């Protein structure tokens, strides 16, 4: 009797005012009865029974498979963000854009400007009068130290300069691009965390026949294609064969497919007897289709909403009436084919400012009373009166025990469950409202989902004694929660059992055969794509067994389904002291005894202990040679064994539970652990597996494994088909042959040797892979030769450097205190103190001497004077201070140079520099240290010539010039001493390194070889340009010890001089 109102409701307070409750724990309302009310009874005490609002047990449903099963093969593959982007990363995104799409980012402006640029110096006649001279421009650009794109070179001179220029002239101003990008990322992040457009869900199932016995057939509506802009009507059939688990058959052909002009956001459907009306919402368009079992879907009408549509809802009362809500705040009643009638328009919020333009609308028990919802609450609008009369159905704040910050997420009229019931979900709770008694929820759950429930599907109880099931689905975390409740008619509503979390696609991989890493990664990211819809096929227990098939759609267009079956009671209900609210309910409630408690059951899911023995002989198989491991069959076998053992684990504990009093859980756990360890002795191979948490008791059926395998294979295939990124330009390679000064023969010889080495290396690698060993140095050194073995630099002997700068550096390694002491000492700040200390010391010594012996007075006084002198020299080592001052400055400037260099260099290059330092620094013959100095010399005189410097590629020229500018700017006042030092050094270098070009080139050869080798190995595509060899002092960045080495080397010849 649907029209009945409960005779007695559960007592509760009615609180008004803003919610202030903050829940600090994560247990929701577990373990709570909420309220009780007396039931029946009007006589003696024993006749009174009570019933609680939250009842302990509901119907027990169990999964037929431990994983959801994919319904359709993957149709597409595209990269997907697994974590929401951080808006602060917009600079990184900009950088990637500039690097990967430099033509788009800069090409247009440089193209426009190219005709106004005169690139070749000195030829004035040919160019236009208003053209800019690039030589000047070039200088200006060089002065501005910008991060440059390492890839953006092209073959012609024009493009080279064009790119150089384009770095400063992006097509979109970086400020604008940055702010737009930030905005976009922020929105993307919010959309990933909470996508309100998807509310309602874009998946629907329309059953064709209502009869129970034959297989449940119907039409599944889901969006397809990459952008979810295809609406598919697909005939599916829920098949059930005795003995085998039921499955969903989608093999029959699709009924039809429609292409829409935007992603399908929501599908709402209602059917009346045989005719069905389907309304589809995309962002700006809403359409209505009509179809029935015999007829193909037929598009009736499409409307365009000016603002983004937020809700579409088909009337369960009158076919062809649709409610449409949009972000403008208006709700329209759309009578398909006839007219659009404005139901309500609300610019403001219903109750308080929720800062959201999301609106929702649903029908209610009366065909002309509509539900209007925003984030703050729900109102019922009676549209029969000319100013629409409204009254509150639900209001955040007026509903008892709302929590702080709670907002409405979804509201749904539960026409099929109860004609007056509405479901309202917030991010914390789910409420059942009875529209006859507004403002007070008749039921409230803590759904305990991590992300707010946006999809909902209800399964009415097939007869009044059964519970109605509410399935809530969340968007980003893919959760599905099953809630059960009963009542609402003669009896007050009561929830049955705690919320039950169902399976998620993202958790399924751990139940499947192990995947190799890159497949695993792809599959994981694919499976964790947010959900986009939820629906359910309910097969009533007629001829076959009752079951519920829950389908979930993800934003990638995949559909997964899981089938729930009522749990079969294995043992008669054995709880005499259980909560027995009423006589009827005991009988009707399936006993909620654990499935596991029946050790004697013959159910195939539970394996008796006698089967353990049959398992033992199998174990040696696992220790077969590693060749087997690659075959997936043995992999899945071992997987199933793991599960087997898990179940065994469970089973063992269960057996214990039968014997042991279960009053104390810890007791049981202890005993079961003992038994397990006993079993361990029998099966030692599995001991490590046993400790894994037994997450699943169920076994995957072979059919499901095959389905999943095929699905994953198809996914891999699809992902191979379309490249993850559009083809980007090949990085420009600088031809280096002429720079290396190599004879052709040598180079060729080198090539063949190289090739052979690579062959060897590959072979080694393959051997390592097959033997599953690590690729260690000893394995490759043979094929690589000796040259990779880099000598460890000699230990730095600090005693050899006596100059104060070196000393200071040495001392500064000991810490701040030592460094400060050095300075104090050097500046003579502590001189008085020291003299005092010395005097004291001498006095002490004198006294000691006097007391010890009177014999050698004279010799004693002599030695003491000696040591006095040495002490003094120790304490005030001022010699050479003034002479080494210039050196100190020079080394500073060297540091600055390296810093400047570093700021130009890309980070990836920095990674390779230390190795080159290590090779060249300790070997005196190869020291390229002098090479920067001649350059410096020339730069000082501002006359670039290429006599001794390596061939001037444009890059090296630029760089050296830049350095000079930088240096001169930095060290203008100290110009003289540094130049002075430079002269000295230059002379030294000419003396010591007889032909410097040869030395440097030989170094270049070496470094470029090793670099090319390295680049081959590591897969770095950028080749090492020879300009690097010019600036070995860059290695001194952040490494004072090394800069000291180079300093001593500079200094040594000077001492000799």
Partner 1 sequence: MDDLERELMSFKDLEDDNDSFDDNSSKASTKSKLPLPNYGMHAEPPRESGFHRSTRVCLEHIRDALLHHRWQEAAEYMACYPQILEDTTNGSAQSYKELTWRISAEILHHHPKSKLEDYNNIYERMKHSGVRHYLMICLEHSFHLLLNGHIEEAKRQLSVSESWRYGKESAAQDQKTKLIQAYRSLLDYIIWVDKKFTNSNTEYPESNENQDIRNYFRTASVNLKEILKNPGVWDPFILSYVEMLEFYEDHEEALKVLNDYAYDNSFPPNPNAHVYLYQYLKRCDTPEKNQMKVLKILHVSVPSHELMLEYSSFLLKSEKSSDIEKALRVVLEMLDFACWRSSLDVWKRLEAIIQKLQQQENWKYVVRTNMAERHGWWPALHFTCFHASKDSEENPELMQVKAPLTKILCPDLTLKYTDWQATNGK
Interface residues for partner 1 in 480-519 (CB under 8 A)? Answer: 481, 498-501
Strands 254-259 and 230-241, sheet pairing: antiparallel
| Footprint (CB under 8 A) of partner 1, residues 396-415 | 404-405, 407, 409, 415
Q: Is residue 20 part of the contact set for partner 1 (CB under 8 A)?
A: yes
**For every residue of 775-843, which 3-state class applies, written as one string?**
CCHHHHHHHHCCCCCCCCCCCCCHHHCCCHHHHHHHHHCCCHHHHHHHHHHHHCCCHHHHHHHHHHHHH
Burial 198-228 (b: 16+ CB within 10 A, else e): bbbbbbbbbbbeeeeeeebbbbbbbbbbeeb
User: CB 451 → partner 1: shortest distance, Å?
Assistant: 6
DSSP letter at 26 equals S
Q: Is residue 284 part of the contact set for partner 1 (CB under 8 A)?
A: no
The nearer residue to partner 1, 57 or 804, going by C-beta atoms, is 57
Q: Is residue 386 part of the contact set for partner 1 (CB under 8 A)?
A: no
User: CB 665 → partner 1: shortest distance, Å?
Assistant: 4
- Range in contact with partner 1 (rule: CB under 8 A) among 556-564, 654-662, 897-905, 1029-1037: 654-662
Can you tell me which of 292, 328, 462, 580 binds partner 1, judged by CB under 8 A? 580
Strands 494-496 and 54-55, sheet pairing: parallel
User: CB 694 → partner 1: shortest distance, Å?
Assistant: 7
Phi, then psi, of 362 in degrees rounded to 5: -145, 165
- 3-class DSSP state for residue 860? helix
The nearer residue to partner 1, 386 or 947, going by C-beta atoms, is 386
Q: Is residue 306 part of the contact set for partner 1 (CB under 8 A)?
A: no
The nearer residue to partner 1, 273 or 681, going by C-beta atoms, is 273
User: CB 590 → partner 1: shortest distance, Å?
Assistant: 13
Q: Is residue 596 part of the contact set for partner 1 (CB under 8 A)?
A: yes
Phi, then psi, of 232 in degrees rounded to 5: -105, 135
The nearer residue to partner 1, 321 or 905, going by C-beta atoms, is 321
Cα dist. 297→75, 257, 292 in Å?
A: 23, 9, 7
The nearer residue to partner 1, 468 or 1013, going by C-beta atoms, is 468
Question: Distance between CA atoms of 393 and 442, rounded to whole angstroms?
Answer: 12
- Range in contact with partner 1 (rule: CB under 8 A) among 53-61, 231-239, 718-726, 1005-1013: 53-61
- Range in contact with partner 1 (rule: CB under 8 A) among 36-44, 133-141, 731-739, 793-801: 36-44
The nearer residue to partner 1, 353 or 614, going by C-beta atoms, is 353
Strands 132-133 and 117-118, sheet pairing: parallel
- Range in contact with partner 1 (rule: CB under 8 A) among 135-143, 169-177, 230-238, 315-323: 315-323
| Footprint (CB under 8 A) of partner 1, residues 414-433 | 415, 419-420, 427-428
| Footprint (CB under 8 A) of partner 1, residues 185-244 | 187, 190, 193-194, 196
Please return the burial class of 394, using the count of CB atoms within 10 Å of its CB with bins 0-12, 13-18 and 19+.
Answer: buried
The contact mask relative to partner 1 for 252-281 (x = CB under 8 A, - = no) is --------------------xxxx------
User: CB 350 → partner 1: shortest distance, Å?
Assistant: 14
Nearest partner of 808 among 868, 880, 867, judged by Cα: 880
The nearer residue to partner 1, 190 or 603, going by C-beta atoms, is 190
Planar angle of CA 75, 79, 81, nearest 5 degrees = 125
Can you tell me which of 241, 510, 662, 839 binds partner 1, judged by CB under 8 A? 662
Q: How far apart are the first and last CA of the chain?
A: 114
Q: Is residue 671 part of the contact set for partner 1 (CB under 8 A)?
A: no
The nearer residue to partner 1, 321 or 362, going by C-beta atoms, is 321
**For every residue of 896-948, which 3-state class applies, written as one string?**
HHHHHHHHHCCHHHHHHHHHHHHHHCCCHHHCCCCCHHHHHHHHHHCCCCCCC
Can you tell me which of 52, 131, 390, 701 binds partner 1, judged by CB under 8 A? 52
The nearer residue to partner 1, 215 or 397, going by C-beta atoms, is 397
Q: Is residue 448 part of the contact set for partner 1 (CB under 8 A)?
A: yes
For the chain, the maximum distance between any two Cα atoms, rounded to a whole number of angstroms, is 132
Q: Is residue 321 part of the contact set for partner 1 (CB under 8 A)?
A: yes
Question: Distance between CA atoms of 203 and 554, rounded to whole angstroms?
Answer: 10
The nearer residue to partner 1, 434 or 905, going by C-beta atoms, is 434
User: What is the total count of residues that contact partner 1 (CB under 8 A)?
Assistant: 123
Pair of tokens at residue 605: 């899911």
User: CB 392 → partner 1: shortest distance, Å?
Assistant: 10
Can you tell me which of 84, 85, 227, 367 binds partner 1, judged by CB under 8 A? 367
Pair of tokens at residue 129: 């009068």
Q: Is residue 319 part of the contact set for partner 1 (CB under 8 A)?
A: yes
258: number of Cβ within 10 Å:
15
């Amino acid at each position: 009797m649907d029209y009945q109102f409960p005779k007695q409701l559960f007592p509760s307070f009615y609180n008004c005012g803003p919610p202030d409750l903050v829940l600090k724990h994560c247990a929701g309302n577990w373990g709570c009865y909420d309220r009780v009310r007396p039931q029946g009874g009007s006589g003696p005490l024993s006749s009174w029974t009570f019933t609680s609002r939250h009842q302990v047990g509901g119907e027990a449903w169990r999964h037929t498979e431990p994983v959801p099963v994919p319904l359709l093969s993957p149709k597409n593959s595209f990269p997907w963000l697994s974590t929401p982007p951080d808006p602060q990363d917009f600079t990184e995104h900009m950088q990637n854009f500039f690097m990967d799409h430099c033509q788009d980012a800069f090409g247009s402006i440089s193209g426009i400007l190219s005709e106004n640029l005169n690139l070749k110096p000195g030829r004035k006649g040919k160019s236009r009068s208003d053209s800019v001279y690039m030589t000047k421009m070039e200088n200006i650009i060089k002065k501005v130290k910008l991060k440059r794109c390492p890839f953006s070179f092209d073959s012609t001179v024009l493009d080279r300069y064009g790119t150089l220029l384009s770095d400063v002239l992006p097509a979109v101003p970086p400020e604008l691009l940055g702010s737009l990008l930030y905005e976009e990322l922020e929105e993307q992040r919010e959309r990933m965390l909470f996508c309100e457009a998807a509310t309602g869900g874009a998946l629907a199932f329309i059953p064709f026949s209502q009869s129970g016995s034959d297989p449940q057939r119907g039409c599944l509506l889901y969006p397809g294609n990459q952008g979810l802009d295809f609406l598919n009507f697909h005939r599916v059939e829920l098949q059930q064969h005795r003995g085998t688990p039921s499955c969903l058959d989608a093999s029959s052909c699709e009924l039809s497919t429609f292409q829409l002009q935007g992603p399908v956001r929501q599908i709402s459907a209602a059917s009346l007897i045989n005719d069905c009306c389907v309304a589809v919402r995309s962002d700006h368009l809403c359409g209505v289709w009509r179809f029935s079992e015999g007829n193909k879907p037929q598009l009736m009408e499409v409307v365009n909403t000016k603002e983004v549509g937020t809700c579409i809802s088909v009337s369960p009362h009158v076919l062809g009436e649709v409610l449409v809500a949009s972000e403008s705040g208006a709700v329209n009643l759309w009578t398909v084919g006839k007219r659009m009638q404005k139901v309500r328009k609300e610019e403001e919020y219903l109750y308080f400012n929720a800062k959201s333009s999301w609106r929702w609308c649903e029908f209610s028990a009366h065909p002309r009373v509509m539900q209007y919802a925003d984030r703050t609450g729900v109102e019922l609008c009676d549209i029969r009166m000319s100013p629409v009369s409204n009254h509150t159905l639900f209001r955040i704040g007026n509903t008892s025990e709302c929590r702080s910050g709670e907002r409405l997420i979804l509201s749904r009229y539960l026409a099929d469950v109860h004609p007056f019931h509405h479901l309202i979900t917030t991010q914390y709770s789910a409420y059942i409202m009875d529209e006859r008694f507004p403002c007070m929820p008749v039921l409230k759950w803590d759904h305990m989902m991590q992300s707010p429930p946006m999809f909902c599907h209800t399964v009415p109880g097939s007869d009044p004694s059964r519970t109605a099931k509410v399935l809530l689905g969340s968007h980003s975390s893919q959760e599905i929660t099953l809630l059960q409740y009963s009542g609402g008619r003669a009896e007050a509503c009561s929830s049955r059992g705690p919320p039950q979390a169902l399976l998620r696609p993202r958790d399924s991989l751990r139940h499947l055969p192990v995947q190799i890493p890159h497949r695993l990664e792809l599959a994981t990211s694919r499976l964790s794509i947010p959900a986009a819809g939820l629906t359910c096929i309910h097969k009533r227990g007629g001829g076959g067994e009752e079951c519920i098939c829950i389908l979930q759609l993800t934003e990638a267009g995949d559909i997964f389904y899981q089938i729930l079956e009522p749990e079969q009671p294995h043992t008669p209900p054995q709880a005499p002291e259980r909560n027995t609210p009423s006589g009827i309910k005991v009988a009707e409630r399936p006993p909620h005894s654990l499935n596991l408690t029946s050790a004697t059951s013959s159910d195939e899911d539970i394996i008796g202990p006698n089967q353990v023995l049959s398992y033992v002989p199998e174990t040696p198989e696992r220790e077969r040679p590693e060749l087997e491991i690659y075959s997936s069959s043995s992999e899945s076998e071992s997987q199933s064994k793991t599960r087997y053992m898990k179940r065994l684990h469970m089973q063992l504990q269960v057996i214990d539970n039968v014997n042991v009093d279960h009053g104390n859980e810890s007791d049981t756990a202890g005993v079961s652990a003992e038994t397990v360890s006993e079993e361990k002795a029998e099966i030692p191979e599995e001991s490590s597996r046993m400790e894994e948490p037994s997450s699943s008791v169920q076994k995957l059926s072979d059919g499901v494994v095959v389905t999943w395998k095929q699905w994953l294979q198809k996914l891999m295939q699809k992902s191979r088909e379309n490249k993850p990124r559009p083809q980007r330009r090949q990085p420009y390679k600088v031809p280096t042959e002429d720079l290396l000064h190599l004879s052709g023969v040598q180079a060729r010889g080198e090539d063949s040797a190289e090739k052979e080495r690579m062959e060897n290396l590959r072979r080694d690698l393959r051997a390592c892979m097959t033997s599953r060993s690590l690729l260690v140095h000893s394995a490759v050194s043979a094929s690589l030769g000796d040259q990779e073995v880099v000598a460890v630099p000699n230990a730095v002997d600090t005693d050899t450097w006596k100059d104060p700068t070196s000393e200071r550096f040495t001392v500064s390694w000991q810490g701040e205190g030592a460094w400060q002491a050095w300075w104090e000492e050097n500046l003579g700040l502590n001189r008085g103190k020291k003299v005092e200390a010395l005097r004291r010391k001498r006095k002490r010594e004198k006294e000691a001497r006097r007391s010890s012996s009177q014999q050698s007075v004279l010799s004693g006084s002599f030695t003491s004077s000696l040591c006095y002198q040495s002490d003094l020299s120790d304490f005030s080592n001022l010699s050479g201070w003034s002479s080494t001052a210039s050196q100190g400055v020079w080394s500073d400037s060297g540091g600055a140079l390296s810093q400047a260099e570093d700021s130009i260099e890309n980070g990836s290059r920095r990674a390779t520099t230390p190795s080159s330092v290590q090779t060249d620094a300790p070997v005196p013959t190869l020291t390229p240290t002098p090479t920067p100095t001649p350059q410096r010399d020339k730069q000082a005189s501002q006359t670039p010539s290429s006599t001794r410097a390596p061939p001037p590629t444009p890059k090296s020229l630029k760089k050296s010039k830049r350095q000079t500018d930088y240096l001169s700017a930095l060290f203008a006042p100290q110009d003289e001493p540094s130049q002075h030092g430079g002269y000295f050094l230059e002379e030294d270098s000419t003396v010591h390194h007889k032909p410097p070009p040869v030395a440097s080139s030989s170094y270049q050869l070496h470094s470029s070889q090793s670099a090319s080798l390295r680049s081959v190995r590591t897969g770095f595509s950028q080749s090492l340009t020879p300009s690097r060899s010019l600036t070995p002092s860059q290695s001194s960045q952040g490494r004072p010890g090394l800069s000291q080495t180079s300093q001593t080397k500079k200094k040594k010849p000077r001492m000799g001089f």
